[in-house]
Amino acid sequence: MLRLADVSKSYGEREGRVVALRGASLEVDAGEMVAVMGTSGSGKSTLLSIAGAMVEADAGEVTVAGVPLEGASARARAQVRRDLVGFVFQDFNLIPALTVLENVALPLDLDGASRASARSEARRALAVVGMRERAKDFPDDLSGGQRQRVAIARAIVGRRRLILADEPTGALDSVTGDRVLGVLRALADEGSAVVLVTHDARHAAWADRIVHLADGAILDAARASRPEQLLTGEAR
């Protein structure tokens, strides 16, 4: 579902140049949840932004659901972003003046879907995260964990196949964080490809596979941890 091969990206120019990725490679299959771990500044968010067609790589190959992004037109990239990719961030970014249902339907509304189909897809996505009964409430009526589940519903509305989550539980207590991770796990089990960026080994343990990003590159796959090793404390 996602293939990054030898992807490089730097920001700025000359003395101000910062290399964020240097030859990073990663493949994530449909139905697979991969955790990406690494210290702050190691390039995790850049990797997700490139995977989601929000940022263009300087070099390397990026393919989402068989669509190559390198050299693709702005229009083609926007279409991938809109139709295939769902983003979940740490801050929920829900719009306070819209109901839960309206927030979740928004991407489809913006995309020109009919009001009826946008709402029925939004209800379906809310059911996935267990928030369907709160459709008429406003974000301010919800707890942090509930808001994050609504944000996940908005990220998956319209059946996106690649879910990119950048430290989605950072602002949550551990119980609600686990609930959010459970939703991401279920999405993978239902066939989406899920990439979870996290600092927390316990969160990474929900994934099928853990990769480590260091200094802009994914460490050799042979050195990748298995989730159960993290939990039992076995050394890499």
User: Which residues bind to ligand ADP, rule: CB under 6 A?
Assistant: 11-12, 18, 20, 38, 40-46
20 binds, among Mg ion, ligand ADP, none (CB under 5 to 8 A by kind): ligand ADP
CB of 192 to ligand ADP, least distance (A): 22
CB of 49 to Mg ion, least distance (A): 9
198 binds, among Mg ion, ligand ADP, none (CB under 5 to 8 A by kind): none
Beta carbon nearer to ligand ADP, 38 or 158: 38
Beta carbon nearer to ligand ADP, 39 or 93: 39
Q: What angle is formed at CA 220 by the lines to CA 62 and CA 25, rounded to 5 degrees? A: 5
Beta carbon nearer to ligand ADP, 20 or 153: 20
CB of 105 to Mg ion, least distance (A): 28
CB of 218 to Mg ion, least distance (A): 15
* Strands across the sheet containing 59-64: 18-28, 2-11, 59-64, 67-68
- As a three-state string, the secondary structure of the chain is CEEEEEEEEEECCHHHCEEEEEEEEEEECCCCEEEEECCCCCCHHHHHHHHCCCCCCCEEEEEECCEECCCCCHHHHHHHHHHCEEEECCCCCCCCCCCHHHHHHHHHHHCCCCHHHHHHHHHHHHHHCCCHHHCCCCHHHCCHHHHHHHHHHHHHCCCCCEEEEECCCCCCCHHHHHHHHHHHHHHHHCCCEEEEECCCHHHHCCCCEEEEEECCEECCHHHCCCHHHHHHCCCC
CB of 48 to Mg ion, least distance (A): 8
CB of 175 to ligand ADP, least distance (A): 25
174 binds, among Mg ion, ligand ADP, none (CB under 5 to 8 A by kind): none
Q: Which residue is nearest to Mg ion (CB)?
A: 45
> What are 65's two structure tokens?
């659901």
43 binds, among ligand ADP, Mg ion, none (CB under 5 to 8 A by kind): ligand ADP
Instruction: Give the binding site for Mg ion (CB under 5 A).
Output: 44-45
Residue 105 and residue 144: Cα distance in Å, rounded? 20
Beta carbon nearer to ligand ADP, 48 or 129: 48
Beta carbon nearer to Mg ion, 36 or 69: 36
141 binds, among Mg ion, ligand ADP, none (CB under 5 to 8 A by kind): none
